[in-house]
C-alpha cells in the first residue's frame, strides 16, 4: 500500500499508545522507512523512554528527531536535515484542557485559544511548507482530525481547531496540486491515548460511540484501523485523492440519534419474536 523503501516522516510520537506510533509501525511493516518526531528531548525522556510497553531493542531501533511545531526554525531544520521523502503524517494537537475543553464553552483565555489553534491547525501548513521541497516527485501529507461537523460535550474549542485543520487541508490541497503533493485528513473515532485522556469526559465519548457506530468501535484496539487508512492516504493507491476527510470511525458520523437494538450486530431480528 505504500512505496517500499521510501521514507515517511511521522510527527507526534509521545508513547506507544500514540496514533503516530501505530501509523509508524504500520509503515515499517509495509516496507517503508520512518522518521518519527517527538516534541522535545524532555517529552521523550518523560513519556517515551519510561514507557514500559516497548522493549528497549524496539525503542533503540527507531529514528526519532525532535520538533516543536510552534517553532518554525525547528520544522525547517528537521526537513533540511533529511533526504527525499514520500509523505508526512501530522498527528499533533493541543488545547489547554482547563480553559479550552470542559463543561463550559465560554472562556476568556485567548492566549490558550491561540496556542491551541497554532498547534492543532496552523502547524499543518508550516509542516507542509517545509516538507514539500523534500518531495520532488510528489507525495502526500495526512493529518488527524476528530468530529469537526458536530458538537460533543466537553470537546468545545478542539472542535473549532479540527474544523480549521480540515479547512487548512483543503487550502493546502489546492495550493500544492502543482507540486503533485496531496493533502488529506483522517477523522478517527475516539482512541485511548495521552491526548484523549486529557479530554474531560473522554470515557463518555467512548460509550457514545458504542451507541452510535454501526460497525462496533473499540477505542483500545482500533488504532490499527486508523493506521491502515493512513497508509492508503500516504501511499500510491490514493494518487488522485486530495483535500478530503476520510472518516475512520465505524460510521458513527453518519448516524442520526442512536442505533436501535435491531441495528446492532447480533441484535434482535425485527419481526422474529
Ligand atoms: N485519541 C483520539 O481519540 C483521537 C481521535 C481523532 C483524532 N485524534 C488526533 O490524533 C492526533 C494525535 O493524537 P493522539 O490521540 O495520538 O495523542 P498523543 O498524545 O499520543 O499525541 C499528541 C501529540 O501532539 C504532540 N504535540 C503537542 N504540542 C506539540 C508541539 N508544540 N510540537 C510538537 N508536538 C506537539 C504531543 O507531544 C503528542 O506527541 C491529534 O491530532 C488528535 O487530535 C485523536
Mean pLDDT across the chain, nearest whole number? 96
Q: How many angstroms does the Cα of residue 141 sit away from the middle of ligand 1? A: 16
Which atom of ligand 1 is found nearest the CA of 17?
Answer: 20
Look up residue 44 and give its DSSP letter: I
pLDDT 10s digits, 26-45? 999 999 999 999 999 999 99
Mean predicted confidence (pLDDT) in 72-84: 98
pLDDT tens-digit map of 190-231: 999 999 988 888 888 889 999 999 999 999 999 999 999 999
The pLDDT of residue 270 is above 90: no
Tell me the CATH architecture of domain 7-249.
Answer: 3-Layer(aba) Sandwich (3.40)
Ligand 1 pocket member 135 (CB < 6 A): no
Q: Which residue has the cell 484496539?
A: 221
Reference 172, options 123, 137, 116; nearest CA is 123
Q: What letter does residue 178 receive in the DSSP assignment?
A: G
Nearest to 248 by CA among 222, 221, 211, 220: 222
Position in ligand 1 atom list of the atom nearest CA 20: 16
pLDDT tens digits, 222-261: 999 999 999 999 999 999 999 999 999 999 999 999 999 9
123 ligand 1 Cβ < 6 A: no
Measured from the Cβ of residue 220, the count of other Cβ atoms closer than 10 Å reads 9
pLDDT of 63 over the 70 cut: yes
- 90 CA distance to ligand 1 centroid (A)? 9
Q: Is the CB of 8 under 6 A from ligand 1?
A: no
Q: Which residue has the CA at smallest separation from atom 37 of ligand 1?
A: 39
Mean pLDDT, range 156-169, rounded to an integer: 98
User: How many Å apart are CA 85 and CA 169, to the nearest integer?
Assistant: 19
- Tell me if 208 CB under 6 Å of ligand 1: no
pLDDT at residue 273, rounded to an integer = 64
> Which cell numbers in the block locate residue 190?
475516539
Other residues' Cβ atoms within 10 Å of the Cβ of residue 27? 26
The set of residues, in sequence order, having a beta carbon less than 8 Å from that of 11 and lying 6+ positions away, is 20, 36, 37, 67, 69, 88, 89, 90, 91, 92, 127
Is the pLDDT assigned to residue 271 strictly greater than 90? no
List Cβ neighbours of 71 (8 Å cut-off, separation of 6 or more).
none
Amino acid at each position: 500500500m505504500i512505496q517500499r523503501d521510501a521514507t515517511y516522516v511521522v510527527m507526534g510520537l509521545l508513547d506507544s499508545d500514540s496514533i503516530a506510533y501505530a501509523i509508524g509501525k504500520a509503515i515499517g511493516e509495509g516496507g517503508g522507512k520512518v522518521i518519527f518526531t517527538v516534541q522535545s528531548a524532555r517529552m521523550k525522556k518523560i513519556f517515551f523512554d519510561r514507557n514500559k510497553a516497548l522493549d528497549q531493542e524496539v525503542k533503540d531501533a527507531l529514528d526519532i528527531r525532535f520538533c516543536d511545531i510552534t517553532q518554525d526554525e525547528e520544522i525547517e531544520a528537521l526537513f533540511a536535515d533529511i533526504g527525499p521523502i514520500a509523505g508526512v503524517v501530522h498527528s499533533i494537537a493541543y488545547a489547554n484542557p482547563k480553559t479550552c475543553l470542559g463543561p463550559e464553552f465560554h472562556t476568556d483565555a485567548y492566549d490558550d485559544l491561540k496556542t491551541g489553534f497554532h498547534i492543532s491547525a496552523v502547524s499543518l501548513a508550516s509542516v507542509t511548507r517545509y516538507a514539500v521541497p523534500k518531495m520532488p516527485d510528489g507525495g502526500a501529507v495526512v493529518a488527524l482530525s476528530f468530529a469537526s461537523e458536530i458538537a460533543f460535550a466537553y470537546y468545545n474549542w478542539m472542535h473549532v481547531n479540527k474544523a480549521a485543520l480540515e479547512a487548512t487541508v483543503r487550502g493546502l490541497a489546492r495550493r500544492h496540486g502543482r507540486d503533485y503533493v496531496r493533502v488529506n485528513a483522517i477523522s478517527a473515532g475516539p482512541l485511548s491515548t495521552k491526548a484523549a485522556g486529557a479530554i474531560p469526559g473522554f470515557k463518555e465519548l467512548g460509550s457514545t460511540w458504542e451507541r452510535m457506530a454501526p460497525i462496533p468501535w473499540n477505542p483500545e484496539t482500533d488504532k490499527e484501523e486508523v493506521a491502515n487508512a493512513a497508509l492508503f492516504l500516504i501511499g500510491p493507491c490514493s494518487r488522485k485523492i486530495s483535500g478530503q476527510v476520510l472518516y475512520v470511525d465505524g460510521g458513527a458520523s453518519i448516524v442520526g440519534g442512536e442505533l436501535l437494538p435491531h441495528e446492532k450486530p447480533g441484535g434482535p431480528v425485527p419481526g422474529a419474536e
